[in-house]
Amino acid sequence: MKTNLILLAGLSSTLLFACVSPKKLREAESRYSQLNGAYLELQGKLRDCEQKSKDSADAFARRKAFYENRLNNSLEAIDFLKQNNNQVLSQLKDLSVISGSQAESIKKSLENIGMKDAYIKDLQSAIAKKDSLNMALVMNLKGAIGNLDDKDINIKVDKGVVYIDISDKLLFKSGSYDITDRAKEVLGKVATVLNNQPNIEFMVEGHTDNVKFARGVLLDNWDLSVKRATSVVRVLQEQYRIPASRMTAAGRGEYVPVADNATTEGKAANRRTRIVILPQLDQFFKLLEKPEQGGMQPVPPPAK
């Protein structure tokens, strides 16, 4: 009987253990799963912290290097300023021994530099005004002459001088210095503009090609170029009332070509009469005059 009781107790314990263990096992497994998840999460956070810490360290290192570089540059600038200050102090020491006459000479030299600078600016302004007047004259001439071929008449400004080039075929017959009727019409249009500018003086130049020429009283190209120039001047004086005192007649012969005489076209370009509007230096310098002063004062020589 006792033995049966012992067996019954053992069997009951076994059955009880068999009923409780799976439940606890599941609870344990669940707890383990939770703990393991928390562990993995903490590991991830740890890695993030370590990475952020590394990034922060790198950024700090970069900022440190940047500010160290700025500091070094500032120190170099301070050294440079110290050196400059030392040089200025040295120069001031040298200046302290300059005599009164030397100081006055330096002062006058500086004043002369200022006056020359002002004179140069006024001169540049006067040149610009003169160029504007020349361009206005060119536009008036082109407007008066109309749509003639540029090969027959060409008006231009070169180095501040107005030139009117008229081909010989428009003005003269071949080898002649008698002006054609068509040429007189063109010269009349030019004269209209020149008469509207009574202060302008000009030179009429005759030019030829390099082909040797002699006929009657004409000995060579010199003679032909001079005769053509005087023929133009006479027409402007006698028919269009331009005062002779405003004109100069000159012959340049074959010696101032504008093209190569080796070609037919070059020879044709070189056979021309040129009207040169002479620069009026007195009028040019009037442009430099200041109304309140009556003109620019001459710049004195630099003080010695």
Decide: 303 and 110 in contact? Cβ < 8 Å: no
- The residue-averaged pLDDT of 169-188 equals 88
- Rounded CA separation 138/236 (Å): 19
Structure confidence at residue 255 as a pLDDT band (50, 70, 90): very high
Element of type H or E holding 173: none
Lowest-pLDDT choice from 64-68, 107-111, 184-188, 249-253 = 107-111
Long-range contacts of the stretch 235-244 (C-beta < 8 A, 24+): 235/179, 235/184, 235/187, 236/187, 236/191, 236/194, 236/204, 239/184, 239/188, 240/187, 240/188, 240/191, 240/192, 240/195, 241/191, 241/195, 242/191, 242/194, 242/195
Q: What is the average per-residue pLDDT within 227-250? A: 95
pLDDT at residue 249 greater than cutoff 60 = yes
Q: Which residues 6+ apart lie within 8 Å of 303 measured at CB?
A: 104, 105, 108, 109, 112
Rounded to the nearest 10 degrees, the angle between the axes of helix 100-145 and helix 181-195 is: 140
Q: Say what the pLDDT of residue 206 is.
A: 95
Strand partners, 265: none
On whether the CB atoms of residues 193 and 137 are closer than 8 A, the answer is yes
Whole-angstrom distance, CA of residue 248 vs CA of residue 278: 10
Q: What is the pLDDT of residue 153?
A: 85
Domain 128-286 indexed as CATH 3.50.50.60? no
Q: How many CB atoms lie within 10 A of CB 66?
A: 10
**Mind listing the pLDDT tens digit for each residue in 269-278?**
999 999 998 7
Judged by average pLDDT, the poorest of 75-84, 189-198, 230-239, 287-296 is 287-296
Structure tokens at 81: 């300023």
Nearest-angstrom CA–CA distance, 36 and 234: 123
Amino acid at 92: L
pLDDT confidence band for 132 (50 / 70 / 90): low
| pLDDT exceeds 50 at position 250 | yes
At 220, list the tokens. Answer: 């060579």
Interval 52-75: pLDDT, tens: 767 666 776 777 777 777 777 877
Helix (H, G, I), strand (E, B) or coil at 202: strand
pLDDT at 246: 93
Weakest-pLDDT range from 64-73, 96-105, 174-183, 198-207: 96-105
> What percent of the chain is predicted at pLDDT more than 70?
64
Tell me what the mean pLDDT of segment 156-161 comes to: 82
Over 90: is that where the pLDDT of 203 sits? yes
- The tokens for 290 are 């200041």
280: amino acid identity, one letter: Q
CA distances from 297 to 115, 135, 283 (A): 9, 29, 16
Considering just the CA atoms, what is the radius of gyration of the chain in Å? Answer: 52
Burial class (CB in 10 A: 0-12, 13-18, 19+), 194: buried
Nearest to 284 by CA among 199, 191, 195, 163: 199
User: What distance in Å separates the CA atoms of residue 59 and residue 69, rounded to the nearest whole number?
Assistant: 15
| Confidence check: pLDDT of 286 > 60 | no
Share of the chain above pLDDT 90, in %: 25
Sign, CA dihedral 51-57-60-61, equals negative
Model's pTM, two decimal places?
0.52
Whole-angstrom distance, CA of residue 4 vs CA of residue 10: 10
Q: Which two tokens stand for residue 195?
A: 């008469």
Task: Return the domain boundaries, the chain.
Answer: 1-97, 128-286
Query: For residue 205, which of 249, 266, 243 has the smallest C-alpha distance?
Result: 249
